[in-house]
């Protein structure tokens, strides 16, 4: 890639050495030994779900370790039968012909003709079919390396050592409940890395949230120590194009440290962190507030002042909510703050908010948008609002000392709920919420949140 720094070199024997001196094959062997893999038993990884981030994650691993075929195998599962519409097929053809390397690759693989036929309307392409050639339906402008695609879920997961959850949170439970049927006779326990951002809310026996890692644990019975979350300030296409990025893998120490080392690349630095709750909740919250950020950007013609006011209020609400859920949540700073910033700045949820405000899409189109995939912030708005509106979670106001539901201290969340879920307000309401003269200083909300009496362990299903 033009302008990128190639931070690896070849040894005389052809093996790849990265800038930190680690031999990729040695790194792979080290992780295989940790799993107890024999010499003739490859490390098997499957990515479940083929959205932008899941596909890029699989492609990054394929490019790093795919040459060691007797030691490493990766495949990606997606449902069969999703047709590529004519407009996307035409655009895909343009992308292919604008990239000589991609054009040559397809000709070599005898795969080019089908794209010509689809461009002419003489053939229908399918999402699983084009993914094998390296085209993710949600980001056709960024061709990936060819991937091994499996459409049978049992075949994909039954012997996997590592399963990467690239599904939207709204589909995670259902798919992993099905996966659990294929693991009943397993002897070894798989490792699961969830990339999913979002939550479910349950009101029984008490109001609480269920994060994707918890959904997976409940659906499969895999010990929670083997279920981790990976997230960070990442835009999938930019990561694949070797823009420098970082992420955190969060969970139990047993696996997070070796996985961070195994996943780390010169342009994609992975750190490890123990605070699974804060990172996973923030992963869902940032998508909620990114939709509002997109609306503000569109309605104010990208006013830097308006966007900064929005940023101050939405981050204070995020801090407020995480302090309900964790006794000592990690501060919204460093990578967590960067993750929020990039999501509010760019990404499918911010794009969705912008398009709604401009009138280029409407709410009747749902939250699964062609070419973008699932807009996870929409369901998360409903889930967080439902949770925080429960009177049983009442908090005292700072001045009048009156009990109120926590959502009453989150005017942006309330407004997004009325725009996206009940649809009783237009996108203009987001500006009205920001300009409300009765709004308190965001600092007041943070000070309330940082009181230890504010923490509600029951919100995570804890006694």
| Catalytic residue IDs | 286
Nearest to 384 by CA among 283, 308, 455, 457: 283
CA angle 102, 83, 50 (to 5 degrees): 65
How many CB atoms lie under 10 A from the CB of residue 310?
A: 24
Nearest to 149 by CA among 85, 196, 81, 213: 81
The CA-atom distances, in angstroms, between 414 and each of 18, 58, 378, 409, 420 are: 48, 37, 13, 9, 10
CB neighbour list of residue 110: distance below 8 Å, 6 or more residues apart:
none
DSSP of 8-45, one letter per residue?
EEE-TTS-EEETTS-BHHHHHHHHHHHHT--TTS-EEE
Q: In this structure, what are the phi and psi dihedrals at residue 42, rounded to the nearest 5 degrees? A: -70, 155
**Can you read off the two tokens belonging to residue 79?**
């449902």
CA gap 388, 321 in Å, rounded = 9
CA angle 337, 297, 283 (to 5 degrees): 30
């Amino acid at each position: 890639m033009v302008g990128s720094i190639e931070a690896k070199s070849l040894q005389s024997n052809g093996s790849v050495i990265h800038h930190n001196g680690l031999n990729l094959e040695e790194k792979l062997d080290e992780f295989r030994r940790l799993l107890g893999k024999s010499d003739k038993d490859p490390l098997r990884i499957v990515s479940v779900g083929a959205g932008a981030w899941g596909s890029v994650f699989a492609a990054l691993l394929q490019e790093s370790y795919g040459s060691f075929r007797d030691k490493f195998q990766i495949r990606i599962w997606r449902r069969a039968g999703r047709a590529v519409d004519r407009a996307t097929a035409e655009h895909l053809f343009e992308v292919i012909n604008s990239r000589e390397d991609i054009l040559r690759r397809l000709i070599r693989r005898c795969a080019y003709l089908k794209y010509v036929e689809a461009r002419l309307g003489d053939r229908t392409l399918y999402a699983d079919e084009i993914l094998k050639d390296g085209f993710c339906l949600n980001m056709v402008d960024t061709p990936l390396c060819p991937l091994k695609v499996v459409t049978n879920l049992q075949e994909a997961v039954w012997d996997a050592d590592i399963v990467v959850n690239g599904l939207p949170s709204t589909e995670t439970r259902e798919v992993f409940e099905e996966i659990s049927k294929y693991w009943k006779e397993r002897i070894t326990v798989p490792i699961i890395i969830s990339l999913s951002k979002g939550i479910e809310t349950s009101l029984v026996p008490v109001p609480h949230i269920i994060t994707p890692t918890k959904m997976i644990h409940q659906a499969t019975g895999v010990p929670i120590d083997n279920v981790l979350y990976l997230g960070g300030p990442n835009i999938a296409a930019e990561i694949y194009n070797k823009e420098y990025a970082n992420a955190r893998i969060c969970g139990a120490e047993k696996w997070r440290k070796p996985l961070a080392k195994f996943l780390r690349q010169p342009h994609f630095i992975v750190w490890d962190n123990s605070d699974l709750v804060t990172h996973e909740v923030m992963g869902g919250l940032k998508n909620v507030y990114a939709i509002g950020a997109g609306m503000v950007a569109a309605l104010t013609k990208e006013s830097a002042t308006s966007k900064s006011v929005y940023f101050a209020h939405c981050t204070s609400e995020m801090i407020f909510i995480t302090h309900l859920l964790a006794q000592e949540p990690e501060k919204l700073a460093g990578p967590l703050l960067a993750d929020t910033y990039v999501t509010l700045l760019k990404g499918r949820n911010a794009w969705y908010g912008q398009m709604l405000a401009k009138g280029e899409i409407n709410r009747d189109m749902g939250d699964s948008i062609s070419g973008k995939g699932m807009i996870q912030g929409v369901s998360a708005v409903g889930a967080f609002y439902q949770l925080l509106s429960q009177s049983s979670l009442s908090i005292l106001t700072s001045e009048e000392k009156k009990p109120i539901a926590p959502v009453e201290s989150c005017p942006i969340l309330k407004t997004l709920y009325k725009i996206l879920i009940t649809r009783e307000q237009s996108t203009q309401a987001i500006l009205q919420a920001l300009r409300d003269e009765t709004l308190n200083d965001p600092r007041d909300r943070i000070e309330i949140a940082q009181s230890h009496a504010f923490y509600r362990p029951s919100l995570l299903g804890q006694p």
